[in-house]
Structure 1
């Protein structure tokens, strides 16, 4: 089993890399958690024969399933979804792989989980914008500072494990430190020739082909991977196709240096849109597809290099260089002229009545019959008007690069054994955002009648510095740390048909934030670790929304800040029993809200306060280990109770009458429950491992009732965009059978086993959860 570090301070761990030749087996010192693993995890945490590592002067650390057996000196809650768990569960997408992690609310809008929506401890899950996503320590949001949305995540085929950090140690990462850090760790390079081929097919036109091959020797190693995945989406007529390729190399440059390089290419071609259904159509058939011409396309290229230099056995400098370029475009059918982008009543009025022929390049207009608005209270039909009203186009380009040297050192300052991590990151990103209106449902940027609605260029320059030190004193560890973020954002307008703004106008602002953190751990009790932590979190403002050029009423919009506190315990009373419990609080201040909500004329403003409080539980019991037997029935359980998730400041919210899209009535949302913050999250699994030959598992996931707007509206709105989301429970199952002499693994998997119909989101309309998905496959190793 891999030695996986689910920790937040830096302490030194020694593992033996058994993939090297016998003459080159050497002990490697690795930093815990995401300290060094985030910089050099592709290749750093290799699987070991014994599955155990040794912490200097501390008991051993191993990982079994989702929770570590022993995690002394870890000041914060964390979780690891390891290779063993991923194989046992056979998740259909990353969404299923993460939904069992305590505190994580994963909302699925599409069958493949491509538009990843993760909310941690009650924070808004929309596009995972409050959570830092990393791949081998490299940020993978579209633009980490200016547009932290998740339209890409590491494909399952390349994932070795997933690390989740929610405690104070996340301040050494950034910029998003409000909710937590999720790091997708990819598989290490090979040190001898070998590989695998993985083929699977299923219902709903699903097919997948993945392969990996690599080799190496005394000099280092390499690994090449490729995957093609395709299948139907959640709605009738929707379809997804994913292509992914990666090349990873590692060079041992003598006894003290190493260099790791990784190149990646990813492409998504989906016949699927982001618009949901109105309530009448959802009630009639939640999987019907009114917008059959909707398309989403994405292309990503990425590069990462990590150079590591060991000054001594106790001091290492690891320098990371990274680059990512993403081009994404969405094409969305329209069914009316009005474009209601949920920017508030006034913003909607400004757009009302705008026809495409008013901005068209050749004067071509809509086909006669496109309505000014859709009356959702009667069944006048998307289908009736969708062919008459053209489309919206959203082509966008994102590019960023950076460099991050990080020093890790074991020392004895103040007479205490200590470990230090300190680093600096320079980061630059550029974003180009365009919006077009097309005259036909299949129009593209250069089609006749297409008009450029607006174009913006956004740039961000950021400098971050951090230092964190863990002191060990007897049975205690103390981990103080601080992060400094300084960034300047610019938003320049090229064209805007909806605002009388001279092209070339630019707005900019600089923010400087000091983010302290402190963790405390006590491991003096037998088989028990107690931990506590507090840290300041940050979510930078988005320039596209919060720095609009030409807004005469613009005032500075500061970043959103939070104070995160947690208190927890990890307990391992017997071999085969793992328990963890954490109390948490997120006091969110400075939240960015629409200006009208707080009585200001500008588009957005700082004024919001929210409070989240709850408790998380995680456990695994291996009954075979308890009895010392090779065959192992096991039980896993994770539960989150979010007993407080409320608005704590005055928030004026439009109160629409049924069937109306305009109002002069505002209600105060103070004290109301936060949208998309379910009170209860439950995941349970029951499995059986028959030695190493076969295993089977059945799992259950429950999500309680959720509100979808600030006023906690109960009744569904006619357009499907507000109203309660009822609670739902789904089942999944998996089976693996291994033919060891042949190097073959046969497997079966089922998601939403009972084919339950359930609602998961009302953003832009009602979205149904993924229907039942069955698939079978075989993996051939050589």
Structure 2
């Protein structure tokens, strides 16, 4: 990599950060009144909690702690279904490895959105390998934010879809703690506890979560299909109050791990109809094992005129997923997807299916089962600073936001394979030594800069911004004798945005926005693969009178080049090949509304609705080797994008108890856009799910809660990728107890 160039770029970032700190010192000298350090929390949680009309010039949604506590969801998918414009492809039923997209972006491994925790990129390697095989534990979050449209221009590198920011618990201002324990169906158990305090200027927080389940799938011949997860976090905070400037120093340390007996192997449609929770014996050895460590140091400076937040971070992630890849092949080759799509197609498929299900033993060499260990090591590290300040310029108020980030990330793959005979419904090693399959490294150094100014002219707020991404990426094949297989890439781009908000009154307003979308290619991709680029528009309005709220936004994503890639989760391949898809249009409508009916002095009936309508269309015809496209004709739709989604939340709330219900509908989805691939013409069925929760507060004796996910035990095929039909989570009951002190 050109280290001289990167040194110059790093110097640029440090110069910008030095300038921000210099501005802070100047502003501090001019200001005589200090802000409360409580505003520090608003820098971790980017959206404020004001209940008045939201005048943000862009689409931003906050799910606060009160909303998260209603259903006590541990699955991020179930949380985000209530946010308009979010499209999800479920996989394991527990949300262990989510597939999340915004406004039509491919949900595969959430690779097209920026995933952040406390304002910092948290994906394993968001530039080098964007697929999010690690995802923070939802149980420990106190708020979740979703940014779409021009609101996402401050957060990169991905600006096509948007950003998801998850906020962990703040260090409390006084002694505070919680113990939360629960048990449920299929061996589900959770233990969550935290304690924190602030003594004089020093504060601390310790928090831990443990979750486990036996799993709802039934492995042929018996065996585990569940998971066990742990997450530990500690925060230390020091408040330094000055006469003119307040400062906060915070250190966050975290450790998390997971062991899950998860698989990519699904079922044939006939077997799904007979028992959607069955798991074939061929997946009996499948297991994911990962650990994640996190370091983050925050420095926050504020007075009445400015806020400056600097974050230094490092995340390390190691994972090994041992799983069935398919048959060894050779003389006869059939993918698992081909076999399970039509097990009775011919004698070859029938034979492979019988081995897969343990009904027959492997005999020929090509009938051996190949299991792969996708062993990967990742890191991300960097420093970023964000400065906000207000000033009057030319007679108008200007709110400036500027930020810079220097970021490095890397993935090292050490994939191996082993071959097994199927004998008496058991996988038996063939005794041959483990073979290396993929041994490489991808790494990226990236500098990001953004500048945004919101000008207030009477009732009109005009926000103009620009984001710069300057990326140096390297790929190296690390296999012996492959040293010459090396690729270096550089990408530089400026991404503008413009948005308007016009306040019709104190309760209502109109908004418009346009911004440029961008998605980089990974370091190993051939330079002929273009970055994804688009121009994205939104137009809508908001109303909020304090009791009733309504937001209606139409969006149009004019994609000039759609980029997609093959991962195991989508194609059953570890080559991570990317493909260009040309021009695509995505158009949609997002609606959210809520009203709180007062039934009595002590009883409220809150109602809220979230609805999304989305259409998509390829604008050109082409032939593709990508499994989710195939041969595309102009007018074909994108896969895994439902036309209609709706979520209705109903509640009964008193001073001591509450009952809540969510009714969720997700329309059918294509599994492949064009012709000529295995899943051409296949669709997932529309799915309606009802979740309920209730709690009773015994005051100083704590709170008891019960919840039921999928009350009516409705299961449908949520995907046939990568190998066969996968079910939604069945009915699950849970009872728990919380004690706060």
TM-score, scaled to structure 2:
0.85
Q: Which residue of 2 aligns with 1:532?
A: 512
2:285 pairs with 1:293: yes
Which string of whole-angstrom CA distances, capped at 9 and with x for unpartnered residues, describes residues 36-78 of structure 1? Answer: 94x544xx99xxxxxxx8xxxxxxx634xxxxx4213x11122
- Residues 544-583 of structure 1 correspond to what in structure 2 (within 5 A)? 544=524, 546-547=525-526, 555-572=527-544, 574-583=545-554
3-state DSSP of counterpart to 1:709? coil
| Shift in alpha-carbon separation, 1:386–1:241, aligned structure 2, 3 A | farther
CA distance in 2, matches of 1:331, 1:444: 15
CA distance in 1, matches of 2:429, 2:320: 11
CA distance in 1, matches of 2:391, 2:34: 26
Of 380-389 and 440-449, the range deviating more from structure 2 = 440-449
Which string of whole-angstrom CA distances, capped at 9 and with x for unpartnered residues, describes residues 166-204 of structure 1? Answer: 131211111111111111111110222221110000111
Q: Which residue of 2 aligns with 1:723?
A: 682
- Residues 119-130 of structure 1 correspond to what in structure 2 (within 5 A)? 119-130=101-112
Which string of whole-angstrom CA distances, capped at 9 and with x for unpartnered residues, describes residues 506-543 of structure 1? Answer: 11110111100111001132410211111111111123
CA distance in 1, matches of 2:404, 2:361: 51
Find the partner of 1:493 among 477, 488, 510.
477
Q: Which residue of 2 aligns with 1:70?
A: 53
Q: CA deviation at 1:273?
A: 1.3
CA distance in 2, matches of 1:127, 1:386: 35
Q: Which residue of 2 aligns with 1:503?
A: 483
- Residues 138-537 of structure 1 correspond to what in structure 2 (within 5 A)? 138-236=120-218, 237-255=224-242, 256-290=246-280, 291-310=283-302, 312-338=303-329, 375=349, 379-384=353-358, 388-440=368-420, 449-495=433-479, 502-537=482-517
Which string of whole-angstrom CA distances, capped at 9 and with x for unpartnered residues, describes residues 357-410 of structure 1? Answer: xxxxxxxxxxxxxxx996169852412369842411100111110001222211
2:647 pairs with 1:683: yes
> In the alignment, is the contact (CA less than 8 A) between 2:618 and 2:634 conserved in 1?
yes
> In the alignment, is the contact (CA less than 8 A) between 1:511 and 1:558 conserved in 2?
no
Q: Which residue of 1 aligns with 2:28?
A: none
| Shift in alpha-carbon separation, 1:654–1:516, aligned structure 2, 3 A | closer
> In the alignment, is the contact (CA less than 8 A) between 2:630 and 2:674 conserved in 1?
no
Q: Which residue of 2 aligns with 1:670?
A: 634
CA distance in 2, matches of 1:325, 1:447: 34
Find the partner of 2:698 among 739, 746, 756.
739
Q: CA deviation at 1:594?
A: 8.0
| Shift in alpha-carbon separation, 1:461–1:214, aligned structure 2, 3 A | same
> In the alignment, is the contact (CA less than 8 A) between 1:650 and 1:670 conserved in 2?
yes
Q: CA deviation at 1:618?
A: 0.4
| Shift in alpha-carbon separation, 1:215–1:446, aligned structure 2, 3 A | farther
CA distance in 2, matches of 1:448, 1:504: 29
Q: Which residue of 2 aligns with 1:709?
A: 672
Which string of whole-angstrom CA distances, capped at 9 and with x for unpartnered residues, describes residues 702-761 of structure 1? Answer: 011110102179xxx9x779711111101110001111133x111011111111121111
Find the partner of 2:613 among 641, 646, 661.
641
| Shift in alpha-carbon separation, 1:444–1:619, aligned structure 2, 3 A | farther
| Shift in alpha-carbon separation, 1:566–1:444, aligned structure 2, 3 A | farther
> In the alignment, is the contact (CA less than 8 A) between 1:655 and 1:667 conserved in 2?
no
| Shift in alpha-carbon separation, 1:446–1:620, aligned structure 2, 3 A | farther
CA distance in 1, matches of 2:735, 2:131: 32
CA distance in 2, matches of 1:244, 1:145: 25
3-state DSSP of counterpart to 1:531? strand
> In the alignment, is the contact (CA less than 8 A) between 2:73 and 2:139 conserved in 1?
no
Q: CA deviation at 1:461?
A: 0.7
Q: Which residue of 1 aligns with 2:604?
A: 632
2:729 pairs with 1:770: yes
CA distance in 2, matches of 1:98, 1:192: 32
Of 627-636 and 322-331, the range deviating more from structure 2 = 627-636
Q: Which residue of 2 aligns with 1:16?
A: none
Find the partner of 1:612 among 574, 586, 589.
586
Which string of whole-angstrom CA distances, capped at 9 and with x for unpartnered residues, describes residues 109-147 of structure 1? Answer: 113201111121222111111111111101111111111
Q: CA deviation at 1:630?
A: 3.7
> In the alignment, is the contact (CA less than 8 A) between 1:721 and 1:762 conserved in 2?
no
Find the partner of 1:587 among 525, 535, 558.
558
| Shift in alpha-carbon separation, 1:771–1:678, aligned structure 2, 3 A | same
Which string of whole-angstrom CA distances, capped at 9 and with x for unpartnered residues, describes residues 481-500 of structure 1? Answer: 0000010111100228xxxx
Q: Which runs of 5+ in 2 are unaligned?
A: 1-32, 219-223, 336-345, 363-367, 567-575
> In the alignment, is the contact (CA less than 8 A) between 2:72 and 2:139 conserved in 1?
no
| Shift in alpha-carbon separation, 1:778–1:561, aligned structure 2, 3 A | same
Q: CA deviation at 1:447?
A: 8.6
Q: Which runs of 5+ in 1 are unaligned?
A: 1-23, 46-52, 54-60, 64-68, 340-348, 355-371, 548-554, 596-601
RMSD of aligned Cα (Å): 3.1
3-state DSSP of counterpart to 2:136? coil
| Shift in alpha-carbon separation, 1:557–1:479, aligned structure 2, 3 A | same
3-state DSSP of counterpart to 1:253? strand
CA distance in 1, matches of 2:213, 2:592: 33
CA distance in 1, matches of 2:334, 2:636: 34
Q: Which residue of 1 aligns with 2:80?
A: 98
TM-score, scaled to structure 1:
0.80
CA distance in 2, matches of 1:398, 1:418: 41
CA distance in 1, matches of 2:58, 2:430: 53
CA distance in 1, matches of 2:148, 2:430: 46
Q: CA deviation at 1:431?
A: 1.0
> In the alignment, is the contact (CA less than 8 A) between 1:632 and 1:689 conserved in 2?
yes
CA distance in 2, matches of 1:25, 1:316: 11
CA distance in 2, matches of 1:159, 1:467: 29
CA distance in 2, matches of 1:188, 1:561: 37
CA distance in 2, matches of 1:750, 1:81: 21
CA distance in 2, matches of 1:747, 1:669: 52
Q: Which residue of 2 aligns with 1:57?
A: none
Aligned residues: 669
Of 250-259 and 237-246, the range deviating more from structure 2 = 250-259
CA distance in 1, matches of 2:374, 2:511: 46
> In the alignment, is the contact (CA less than 8 A) between 2:467 and 2:496 conserved in 1?
yes
CA distance in 1, matches of 2:285, 2:454: 55
